[in-house]
Structure 1
């Protein structure tokens, strides 16, 4: 206990719709995070008091393991109202409209920093991950939806409203959709033609269904294409072009040195092979394409990124 308690520590918590995972880290003198504790419990989805209690029990247990009271970073789905601190959208209904960070600070009596789970993914890959040491990077989640985060010199850039990296709700050009015979789709966010409706894993399945397929999962569509299925190949080609246009817009907007893919589609090898050339077709000549990289930490990066966010806010 004495050896551990002489160190600084931080807890990172990844909040999901079905599980909460806490990882307790000791902080080495050089700033490296060393995992000392990990625990996962089911997410109380409907009861905010039960949610708070679950977090408190996890944090107290981690404190006991590490031998000191540590600050907490939480990665949450959805976004937070920068003015009120209330959660605006989440796949955990109990959190909607709640001042999550403030409530947990009062309950835990310590610094608590809340960030978007996709931003936490980006931060983890920027510090010690696939984009470690690069001047800038964008972490692009391609899972059920599409979101991400932007880091410069290993630090997360959150923006005025804390939503920097919400690229999934940019709109694809109607002319590009028309070129491929893809309809303009309404998005639950209230906009139309949002990227995530087309380029996410869900979007790829919907494209497959639109062109007469069964709407299979992304990995199955890729396997069919590799086996010679013409429809699957057509759908993957359209998907790559739509995604390439989105990434080309990222290049023209923030010009990252690398784009690290996350989520289920990060497992599709053809994206790393085809995207650079496909992106170049949407940009003027002479530009260098950012490296398109697979994630180093993958799904395990959520809690780590949350811990890093807490340290960025409370060095």
Structure 2
């Protein structure tokens, strides 16, 4: 059996597939915030609990919100910043006593969609994560491009095009820069900016979406989000000219996004 984990900034989800690629186990829990040790413990517990429930050991693969540095083996470029600089692969392998495969979550998503998902049989696919962070991956003929620095597709740290930049409340990204696309298009960033500009009493994109039906200011905020995503993706299109762009992450569930963008 094959055990996979999606380690997100907000939630961690585990799934186990049998030899026929049928899901036989699934569980989702909140991701520990700001604590590497708790994250490690959480991953170990999820794995051991699943295997105990199924009565056998599995192969293990984990998608992480960052990447593994090819030179140091340490986590880099993770919006879950407490992972950065840690040898997650080694530490987890020591904890459970066997090999673990780690890869960037956006790369995993892109490869999956290009292999047997929404972009199946497309030559060039750009996969987009719109969630706690903003990530991306590039797949050519069902092969992921990783690059020498393991940062291929990380468009979230390009600069938001000037027409969409908001200088009055520009947020600093965890990478140390301002005006990163991630600071405009991630879920937390969108919620923060909308609350600041509209005074809305909400704590999630879903709550803002409900309010937007009666509040024109919030509705306008969603329109600006769609416009910002369009501008940002246009940069990717001009460089890559992909056959397909596939969207994932929590904000990919916004139905109007596919019409407006």
The TM-score normalised by the length of structure 2 is: 0.80
State whether residues 17 and 92 of structure 1, in contact with CA within 8 Å, keep that contact through their aligned partners in structure 2: no
Conserved? CA contact 2:81–2:174, under 8 Å: no
How far does the alpha carbon of each residue in 1:37-73 deviate from its partner, in whole angstroms, 9 at most, with x for none?
44567767453774575366247537844xxx54321
Aligned partner (choices 21, 45, 58) of residue 54 of structure 1: 45
**Cα shift at 1:25:** 2.3
Q: 1:205 to 1:42 in 2, by over 3 A?
A: closer
The CA deviation string for residues 169-206 of structure 1, in whole angstroms up to 9 with x for no partner, is 1111334426xx76543212111101111122223223
CA contact (8 A) 1:79 1:90 kept: no
Which residue of structure 1 aligns with residue 195 of structure 2?
A: 209
Aligned equivalents of 1:39, 1:219: Cα separation in 2: 22
Q: Distance in 2 between matches of 1:19 and 1:58?
A: 17
Given the alignment, which residue of 80, 96, 104 partners 1:91?
80
1:199 paired with 2:185, answer: yes
Identify if the C-alpha distance between structure 1 residues 230 and 98 changes in structure 2 by more than 3 Å, giving closer, same or farther: closer
Q: Pairwise mapping of residues 141-220 of structure 1 onto structure 2 (< 5 A)? A: 141-177=129-165, 183-214=169-200, 216=202, 217-220=204-207
Tell me the CA shift for residue 140 of structure 1: 1.4
CA distance in 2, matches of 1:183, 1:42: 29
Q: Which runs of 5+ in 1 are unaligned?
A: 1-8, 276-315
Q: 1:226 to 1:64 in 2, by over 3 A?
A: same
Distance in 1 between the 2:187 and 2:169 partners?
17
2:2·2:59 contact (CA, 8 Å) conserved in 1? yes
Taking the TM superposition and a 5 Å limit, the aligned residue runs for 1:224-303 are 224-227=211-214, 229-275=215-261
Point out which structure has higher relative CO (alpha carbons under 8 A, 6+ apart). Answer: 1
State whether structure 2 residue 126 is matched by structure 1 residue 126: no
CA change 1:52–1:250 in 2 (3 A) is: closer
User: CA offset at residue 34 of structure 1?
Assistant: 2.5
Deviates more, 1:245-254 or 1:159-168: 159-168
Distance 1:36 1:224, change over 3 A: closer
Q: How many aligned residue pairs are there? A: 256
Out of 1, 14, 24, the residue aligned to residue 6 of structure 2 is 14
Q: SS state of the match for residue 233, structure 2?
A: helix
| Distance (Å, rounded) in 2 between the aligned partners of 1:120 and 1:139 | 9
Q: State how far apart, in whole Å, the 2-side matches of 1:105 and 1:194 are.
A: 34
Distance 1:62 1:72, change over 3 A: farther
Alpha-carbon offset, residue 137 of structure 1: 1.8
For structure 2, the residue ranges without an aligned partner over 5 or more in a row are none
Which residue is 1:290 aligned to?
none
